[in-house]
Amino acid sequence: MELFKSTSNIDFLGGRKVSIAISVALMLISIVLVATRGLNYALDFTGGVLVEVQYAESVEIDQVREALDAGGLHNAQVQSLGGTRDVSIRLQAQEDQKNADKVASDVLSALKAKRADVVLKRHDFVGSSVGAELRSDGIVAAIFVMLGIMVYIGIRFEKRFAIAAIASEIHDTILTVGFFALTHMEFDLTVLASLLAVIGYSINDKVVVFDRVRELFRLSRKAEPYEILNKSINQTLSRTIMTSLTTALAMFALYFWGGPAVHGFALTMLVGIVIGTLSSIFFANPILYWLGVSKTDLMPVSKESPELARRP
């Protein structure tokens, strides 16, 4: 099935100045948003109190949230611990809630007000230093992923492709993080994991297009970079759109029926899919064109034998 004919000739590079200008503007806006508004870090990064309780009978997660809200404990992160009776509750540390024992007592009281068959299993206080370490580890992980991608693309293709790939990866990551700074949605470990997945997913489309660029350069006798790059985007456009749509459908299902625990993951993937798809078409290839990629860059280097090299 093809949404677009492989013989189509849409001039994507014709608007490269506009697309690059828009991308750069969005990157600057995202950086400003992160610097001024910051990210709404969840308990995973800020520290707080972790409480685990157990019910005698099955309980719905929504019932636990309603009981906590009724007891004045708002914005709690509630998750099932693999069954229908064990529940994990995480609350961000407040100035009057630094005592983990008091918080656990408040949680238990709120839950018992709705159902008496609940008991406290354990409670712990998570310090902010742990969250700071997780943030720094996440940044290091993202950097290593991008460097690994750059090395891979440089080995498989050519250094200009590696530069275009890493530029688009930085672009996609900054815009995705900027979305969370703009909306001020919670940024937790699931979002961080999804952000790393977005980096890996985003490079997938670029590799497909880059592979077609290399193939067309080698097959064409008179290979003009502008024509080759446009043709590569057109020939892979259906594949790019179909891959993005099918992945987005899975993320939509996860968002609407997967429960609140995976909302952040699914939403990050959806935002990343949109940004990554658009950057594959309107950002990566214009960068590659401006870097001056040509047919000679992709042709294998022929090695003359010593005998031939000595001939006059």
pLDDT at 46: 74
Cβ-contact 241, 312 below 8 angstroms: no
Per-residue model confidence as pLDDT tens digits over 65-121: 888 888 888 777 787 776 778 888 888 765 444 567 788 888 888 888 888 888 888
Strands annotated E in the chain: 40-41, 48-55, 77-80, 86-92, 118-126, 186-187
Give the number of other CB atoms < 10 A from CB of residue 65.
Answer: 18
* Those residues with Cβ within 8 angstroms of residue 13's Cβ, 6 or more apart along the chain or in another chain: 226, 229, 230, 285, 286, 289
In the chain, ranges of CATH 3.30.70.3400 domains: 48-126
Does domain 48-126 match CATH 3.30.70.3400?
A: yes
Per-residue model confidence as pLDDT tens digits over 152-194: 887 877 788 888 888 998 999 999 999 999 988 888 888 888 8
CATH topology of domain 13-40+130-298: Multidrug efflux transporter AcrB transmembrane fold (1.20.1640)
DSSP letter (8 states) at residue 302: P
Strands annotated E in 1-69: 40-41, 48-55
Q: Counting Cβ atoms within 10 Å, is residue 307 exposed (0-12), middle (13-18) or buried (19+)?
A: exposed
Residue with tokens 């700071």: 132
pLDDT at 304: 47
CA 219, distance to chain mean position in Å, is: 35
Interaxial angle between packed helices 159-183 and 263-282, expressed in degrees from 0 to 180 and rounded to the nearest 10: 140
In the chain, ranges of CATH 1.20.1640.10 domains: 13-40+130-298
Task: Return the structure tokens found at 132.
Answer: 């700071």
